[in-house]
Chain A
Amino acid sequence: MTASITNTDGSATGGVAEDVPAKGTADRVRPGGRRGARGTAGTYLLLTLGAVAFLFPFYYMVVGSLRTTTTGDLSSAVPGGLTGGNYTAVNGAISLGRSLLSSGIMTVGVLLCTLVFGVLAGYALAQLHFRGRGTVFAALLLVQMVPFQLLTLPLYVLVVRDYGLGDNYIGMILPFAINSTAVFLFRQFFLQMPQSLFEAARIDGAGELRILWRIALPMARPAVLTAMLLTFIGPWNEFLWPFLVTKDADKQPLAVSLASFLSNLQGTVANPAGALLAGACVLAAPAVALFLLFQRHFTSTDIDSGVKG
């Protein structure tokens, strides 16, 4: 933690030493606390430039979606001529409500399957002994390295051509049904729980399903929340697979219908760029809102645990 402060002092790049009170520099770096520890102006400049680069397209997206005429010139970066018309327009072209419903059904389906079957698998991998446990765990690690896109062609042949599940929610959900990263998270969490707790319950004659439901799961709430958030962004943002399995515009989730608006429906509205940005805002909003609400739980700590080694 204090490493960067030490090295700032060492290289004397204008950093203020810890014990010396800031003299005339209070305008830039105000004392942050009793310790007065702070980064240098250069660090802030760097971080701010980064933040601008990351946030500007989002800002531009929102501002552009609210303008009566959305053009690319420099004045387009400042809000002006506010209107909600673009949202009405994109709604007319791709029916936002219905698209959102499709996205919602697909995402909720994945969340439910991951929650039920993922928790069961995670618990078994962490707390129960059975033949092939090592193999299943190895497979879990392996599939996270397999690029899903490579399986789309055979999956398309199987799901759409052989099983006839095109334009069907089951077909949309199937490849994502159980999120392996979530299973991994559940396993890691259940692994950390004290064995004695489970022993006691077993001696009392409780079945595993009951132990899982009454003891393990209530303790695992933070892990469940993190896993659900991670799982959410996958199907909600997914494009390729639902694009392949839904030909019927009434079944297409928002990512797919917005993409078709992007490639061939823009001519149908008066302010195409504004309507596109409005659609993009609607697609982005749920994930962004969840992220802002539960930011702490979105950290990749558990994925990193393999790295820390």
Chain B
Amino acid sequence: MTDSALTATTGRHTSHGDTAPRHGRFRSGTGALFVTPYVLFLVVVFAVPLGYTLWISVHRFYFTAPGTHADAPWVGLANYRDVFTDPVVGRAFLNIAVFLVINVPLTVLLALVLASALNAKIRFRTFFRAAYYLPYITASVALVGVWQFMFGTDGFVNHLLGPHAPDPSWLVNSHLAMPMIAFFVTWKQLGFFVMLYLAALQNVGAELYEAASVDGAGRVRQFFSVTVPGVRPATTLVVIYAIITGANLFSEPYLLTGGGGPDHASTSPVLLMYQKGIEQGHPDFAAALGVVLVGFVLVISLAARKLTERGN
């Protein structure tokens, strides 16, 4: 019923030049119709908010009650000036750098080693895969709860370490809070990257290992000369995901280290956007910070792609 109604509308769209087969051109309107809800979704959830952020970031913007209206005067780059001169913003970006310095090498190394081990002919492979993947599919909030308890001042880890426990404890120590967040995220997401590398390893030909072996390369040498270059595209993806995760950190600093504590030592840009924008009512500042963060993500991602793909 509806089908015929849908196809009936297609006539209007057939005029433009399209290299598609005949039936395709005929169904042109149906295709556009099928994809419309998704396009509307992209516009409402991505395009409009992106444009709106840019607009807010160059105005003095206040929250108003639903239905009421307040003037938002143009202020040029004043919000950006505020963002760049705020020391806590600097601290948040520095924290992301700390996060990346720990998370990226650790993820690449551990995921690649575990994926190589899984790639060998072993028993219980399904069990190991499931075990590694489990934290990745589990809610951050649940896992943060467990970590907070385990790494608390009177927690299991400190009891295990006895006199060697750090003081102040892990999550309230200004030197350890951010590294702890990096370790938590590495642990939580590692399974995903193990699977990514495992898939990439299927493309590294066995003959390469045989050739290396004939040339007298040992196991370690083979790992660095055959495996590592063989999975380079996956490594690029790991690095880009890590940057995006770093730029997105919110639940971990908000919950694991109690609001980016101690004293902003583990704060993140998104946490600041929440605190400044919504808690303290400066959405214009938060919008400018968001734009800066997007720029930062783009630049670092491009640089990382250049770096990891060098030599290809």
Contacts and interface: CB of A to CB of B under 8 A. Distances in A.
Interface residues of B, number: 127
Given A72-B159, A131-B13, A308-B203, A50 B131 contact: yes
Interface stretch (B81-89, B99-107, B145-153, B172-180): B145-153
Interface stretch (A19-27, A32-40, A81-89, A217-225): A32-40
Contacts of A233: 137
A248 interface: no
B76 interface: no
Contacts of B132: 50-51, 54
Contacts of A13: 219
B137 A288 contact: yes
A118 B38 contact: yes
A64 B149 contact: yes
B120 A129 contact: no
B38 A117 contact: yes
Contacts, number: 368
Given A128-B30, A304-B200, A4 B46 contact: no
B27 A208 contact: yes
Nearest to A259: B141
Interface of B: 2-4, 6-7, 13, 16, 18, 20-21, 23-25, 27-32, 34-35, 37-39, 41-42, 44-46, 48-50, 52-53, 56, 63-67, 110, 113-114, 116-123, 126-135, 137-150, 152, 154-156, 158-160, 187, 190-192, 195-196, 199-200, 202-204, 206, 208-210, 212-213, 217-219, 222, 233-234, 237, 240, 244, 247-248, 250-251, 255, 258, 270, 273-274, 277-278, 283, 286-287, 290, 293-294, 297, 301
Interface of A: 1-8, 10-11, 13, 32, 37-40, 43-44, 46-47, 50-51, 53-55, 57-58, 60-61, 64, 70-74, 76-77, 117-118, 120-121, 123-125, 128-133, 136, 139-140, 143, 145-158, 161-164, 174-175, 177-178, 183, 199, 202, 206-210, 233, 236-237, 239-240, 244, 255-256, 258-259, 262-263, 273, 276-277, 279-281, 283-284, 287-288, 291-292, 295, 298-301, 303-304, 306-309
Pick the 4 closest A-B CB pairs, nearest first: A207-B3, A128-B31, A129-B24, A130-B31
